[in-house]
A and B are shown apart, each in its own frame.
Chain A
Amino acid sequence: MIRLALLLLALLTLPARAEEVVMGMSKDSVSITTDFDGSEILIFGAVKREAPIRTDPPLQVIVTVAGPVEPVTVWRKARRLGIWVNTDAVEIDAAPSFYAVATSAPWDEVITDVEDLRHKVSVPRAIRSVGAPMNILDSQSFTDALIRLREGEGLYQLRANSVELRDSTLFDTAISMPANIVEGLYSTRVFLTRDGRVVSQHASVIEVRKVGLERWLFNLSRNQAPLYGLLSLVIAIAAGWGASAAFRAMKSG
């Protein structure tokens, strides 16, 4: 209810423009607990306009969610002396750890290549690779491999036609995050396009963070590494001794 009220308030206070997008999310933070098994986020919004609705060309919506950006090394194997060895490596300067794109129509109909390049909407555009070493001529195949491998893990998703747009005004979609996501700030963007051109956009942030035991253990391992190491040894030795004592008790009892 409060969210809806806020949305309305946002609608009313926006500066006047031809078509304006406003968005909301079912949650703006994701907690990674011990039993975390992925999360689904509902992203919804509305188009605010002063003029009557134009239906030709039709309005389209694109929603993207991007995880923290980090460098990745992609290795390629080749056969040397009969065995498969990692021979070539390309360092990709910045690749999001998670990236989901949802659209209201097939990809070709929602955005042009020029606009995609400008706003970095599609998965390949969201990845930045400055240059490969001199000896590698097909650096594109390394980027393709990164996308393919992460798509396989559910980390990169392109879901066409998964945004529901009603009367060119209300839209909603669900983005599912797999269980193997990392923590950090996930930037969420919504683009309104007409005839492949972006007419309005809006950005927001989802915070993904470990909580409780997860948070505590992670911090301990980073801030007090020797203590953490000792703790893991104590647990190991205690468990070993405990099992031994338990089995002896079972046999004699």
Chain B
Amino acid sequence: MQIYLPIAEVSVNVFLLFGLGGLVGILSGMFGVGGGFLITPLLFFLGIPPAVAVATGANQIVASSVSGVLAHLRRRTVDLRMGTVLLVGGLFGAALGVWVFNMLKELGQVDLLVRLCYVVFLGIIGALMFVESLNALRRSKRGGPPKRRHHGWVHGLPFKMRFRTSGLYISAIPPMLVGLSVGVLAAIMGVGGGFIMVPAMIYLLGMPTKVVVGTSLFQIIFVTAFTTMLHAVTNQTVDILLALVLLIGGVIGAQLGTAIGTRLKAEQLRIALASLVLLVCGKLALDLFLTPHDLFELGAQ
């Protein structure tokens, strides 16, 4: 069954879109990533114009994140306090990111920079996470006691706050900075930033993995809602019909994903996410290095 999308102005198969939404929803619920880094390239592949894919992707992530957060709220695995601190930093970062993005646009080659950003960040994060969780998994198999996290300099900072759900008593400055830098990257790369936020919360802030997913989703809702509005007003590239089909699949997937996520061990969850991130990174890197099958492509402007 085909559906004609009013803004994208192409006709696509409904079940294909539905399945795509569902797949990304499952990942979103499992890992706390919005799935923007996955859904946008997949939509390109279906022939949706890039601008529409980016804007509509953001809208669909709002839906799957709401669905995911509600599931996590019931399990009390959302640190609302931490989420709010991250969000404040994130919104400032997003504004800064939009400014940087426009500056890069004037210099040209913004498309390439976005893609390089993806390859570099996905590569670094994926590799670090993979190695770390593999080590953790080996340790837990040997049955040794888990190593206590050492906080070091982070404990010396002022403005200490108690984050009860995360079991942390740390300064508000590091989470604020994490939010800010993720916000900048998110605006430049056109994603919610979950795949950067999740590892940053685990490794930089020392939050427990179970809490990280819900908290990341919580702040992604606001960042992507902001992005959706921005795209709808300035570029008019949000396709409601496309979003609707994607998010029906997405919200169902997010519920399934959350259920799967709670059955897996934290280390397994991290290895799975790391593999996924590395996979996407590899695909993007190949596109940059391999000779394209057609050297020419059509652009809007």
Q: Which residue numbers of A lie inside 8 Å of B, CB to CB?
A: 32-38, 72-79, 82-86, 89, 141-142, 145-146, 148-149, 179-183, 210, 213-215, 217-218, 221-222, 225-226, 228-233, 235-237, 239-245, 247-248
* Interface assignment of B167: CB less than 8 Å from any CB of chain A: no
Given A231-B240, A240-B62, A180-B232 contact (CB < 8 Å):
no
Q: With A217-B6, A240-B62 given, name 19 new contacts (CB 8 A).
A: A33-B4, A34-B3, A36-B11, A37-B11, A73-B301, A75-B296, A75-B298, A76-B295, A77-B297, A79-B291, A83-B289, A141-B296, A221-B6, A222-B236, A232-B240, A235-B243, A243-B67, A244-B251, A245-B70
Report how many residues on chain B are interfacial, defined by Cβ distance under 8 Å: 59
In the complex, which residues of chain A have a beta carbon less than 8 angstroms from the beta carbon of B291? Answer: 79, 84
In the complex, which residues of chain B have a beta carbon less than 8 angstroms from the beta carbon of A230? Answer: 229
Distance of A238 Cα from B38 Cα, bound (Å): 23
A217 touches B71 (CB 8 A): no
Distance of A210 Cα from B9 Cα, bound (Å): 10
Given A77-B295, A221-B238, A38-B11 contact (CB < 8 Å):
yes
B10 touches A180 (CB 8 A): yes
Which one of B11, B111, B287 has the greatest number of beta carbons of chain A within 10 Å? B11
Which one of A37, A141, A182, A243 has the greatest number of beta carbons of chain B within 10 Å? A243
Given A229-B228, A239-B251, A240-B63, A74-B7 contact (CB < 8 Å):
no
Distance of A82 Cα from B286 Cα, bound (Å): 11
Which one of B69, B231, B294 has the greatest number of beta carbons of chain A within 10 Å? B294
Shortest Cβ distance from A67 into chain B, in angstroms?
12
Shortest Cβ distance from B2 into chain A, in angstroms?
4
In the complex, which residues of chain A have a beta carbon less than 8 angstroms from the beta carbon of B251? Answer: 239-240, 242-244
A146 touches B298 (CB 8 A): yes
Q: Which residue numbers of B lie inside 8 Å of A, CB to CB?
A: 1-4, 6-7, 9-11, 47, 59-60, 62-71, 74, 109, 111-112, 225, 228-229, 231-233, 236, 238, 240-241, 243-244, 247-248, 250-252, 254-255, 287-292, 294-301
What is the chain B residue whose CB lies nearest that of A85? Answer: B112
Shortest Cβ distance from B218 into chain A, in angstroms?
12
In the complex, which residues of chain B have a beta carbon less than 8 angstroms from the beta carbon of A35? Answer: 1-4
Chain B interface main SS type: helix
B232 touches A248 (CB 8 A): no
What is the chain A residue whose CB lies nearest that of B247? Answer: A239
B67 touches A240 (CB 8 A): yes
A237 touches B299 (CB 8 A): no
Which one of B67, B69, B228, B252 has the greatest number of beta carbons of chain A within 10 Å? B67
What is the chain A residue whose CB lies nearest that of B237? Answer: A221
Shortest Cβ distance from A49 into chain B, in angstroms?
43
Distance of A73 Cα from B64 Cα, bound (Å): 35
In the complex, which residues of chain B have a beta carbon less than 8 angstroms from the beta carbon of A85? Answer: 109, 112
In the complex, which residues of chain B have a beta carbon less than 8 angstroms from the beta carbon of A32? Answer: 4
Given A217-B6, A229-B233, A247-B71, A240-B65 contact (CB < 8 Å):
yes
